Amino acid sequence: MTTRTASDTADPQIDSRDDLLPLFIKGEKPKSAWRIGTEHEKFVYRRSDHRAPSYDEPGGIRDLLEALACCGQWQPVIEGGNAIALAGPDGTVSLEPAGQLELSGAQLETLHQTCSEAGRHLACCKEAGERLGLGFLGLGMWPDKARADLPVMPKGRYEIMLRYMPKVGDLGLDMMLRTCTIQTNLDYGSEADMAEKFRVGLALQPLATALFANSPFTEGKPNGFLSYRSHIWSDTDPDRTGMLPFVFEDGFGYERYLDYALDVPMYFVYRDGKYIDAAGQSFRDFMEGRLPALPGEKPRISDWTDHLSTAFPEVRLKSFLEMRGADGGPWARICALPALWVGLLYDQSALDAAWDEVKHWTLEERQQLRDAVPKLGLKALTPRGETLRELGQRVLAIAESGLQARAHLNAAGDNESGFLDPLREILARGLTPAEQLLARYHGEWQGDVSRVYDEMSF
């Protein structure tokens, strides 16, 4: 989740909805300036007993951040006297609510750079973990932890969200405390380009969910899902999640997404280094100076940026597009997710071909596929009556063609399409990562889910 690094007390005031559109418009970039941002989370655990460490304990999350700061040019981000993130040339290292560690990577030109960035970060994590007795687990959900087993990090926005979540859904606390994801952030060239990429991203997000499904265990037992993390989003908060049917309507653009975002209830306002609880209140009222939490005050541009970060649809628009459907996973799949989406969205021929695959689906068919995937994975049926695996083979071929057309080569002369190899293997087997874990659980692990720490740690 977004980490504030400044109070932005001098940024412009919002006087009308016309002040809100420039955030989207300024995201428009020529193709030569399109970049790749990759975010990936992992669970932190004590090697001795697999316990999730608290922030303050010796060798805990605070000490982990300090150790990571010594591994590169990182500067701590302080909130309430506590280091809650690190900022540096490779982006931002931040904490999710229960201490999940996230790298929100820098905006990079090639997937080769993206994968190198991930490698540097994971090497630093392993170095720090050796000193502190900590390990890092690449899954979509804690395999053995109850909510009560988990600490809460000292970030003001999390206190507000933890109070509000149970009022609007049954699984929001699980989303915050027990899940990890990989995300990719991508640019667009125009409003029309944004709309086409948004539509392809939304329609094919269930495929990404299936390919990266990696959360089949809850509290030590199979939970009946392949991506329980994806299922959790279906009962988190209907006001800020989902497949956004309006994106497929004629004329969709910035104005329509702006209206959607204005209707998402607020969580907070950030002032003078502190988060003010505005949970459930209206940003529209805020624009009129009628926000109960700050009567008479109007929002600033930074408040709008913050508010956009509190909507959680399957694809999210800020000044870039976020692909949000994948479970957390091992190093190779951290590189594979941006490879999939860059291949599909950054070459026009590939983008058009991907849209041809999904453009005839109805709203109901898209929703049915999204609802089926958390349990069925690649066996879910598309509106054409084929399996998602069959569609995935064609889509992956489109992504490969898009990456080849980009022709970004590394020192060995390889293009970026090799980063799709983990997905090729999944499709060849016809088994999601979760199904492969379940086979081990029922086989060689003999029902001992703790074995996942040996096989899925970085």
57-85: pLDDT as tens digits = 999 999 999 999 999 889 999 999 999 99
Give yes or no for residue 234 having a pLDDT over 70.
yes
Give yes or no for residue 202 having a pLDDT over 90.
yes
In a domain, 403, yes or no: yes
* Number of separate domains in the chain: 1
Q: Which residues contact 442 (CB under 8 A, 6 or more apart)?
A: none
In a domain, 12, yes or no: no
In a domain, 304, yes or no: yes
What share of the chain has pLDDT > 70, as a percent? Answer: 98
Backbone φ, ψ for residue 456 (5° rounding): -120, 15
Average the pLDDT over each of 9-23, 180-194, 421-435 and give the range with the smallest value.
Answer: 9-23
Rounded CA separation 201/182 (Å): 15
Structural domain boundaries, residue 212: 17-456
Residue-level pLDDT at 2: 62
In a domain, 230, yes or no: yes
Residue-level pLDDT at 404: 98
* Mean pLDDT, rounded, of the chain: 96
- 389 confidence band (pLDDT: 50, 70, 90): very high
Residues 150-156, mean pLDDT to the nearest whole number: 97
Which domain CATH number covers 156?
Answer: 3.30.590.20
In a domain, 223, yes or no: yes
Give yes or no for residue 8 having a pLDDT over 60.
no
In a domain, 254, yes or no: yes
Give yes or no for residue 385 having a pLDDT over 60.
yes
User: pTM for this one?
Assistant: 0.96
Question: Which tens digits make up the pLDDT trace of 316-349?
Answer: 999 999 999 999 999 999 999 999 999 999 999 9
Residues 239-244, mean pLDDT to the nearest whole number: 98
Residue-level pLDDT at 119: 96
Give yes or no for residue 136 having a pLDDT over 70.
yes
In a domain, 308, yes or no: yes
In a domain, 11, yes or no: no
What distances in angstroms separate CA 436 from CA 168, 212, 216, one per listed residue? 34, 12, 10
Give yes or no for residue 238 having a pLDDT over 90.
yes
Q: Which residues contact 299 (CB under 8 A, 6 or more apart)?
A: 13, 14, 269, 283, 286, 287
Residue-level pLDDT at 72: 85
Residues 436-442, mean pLDDT to the nearest whole number: 98
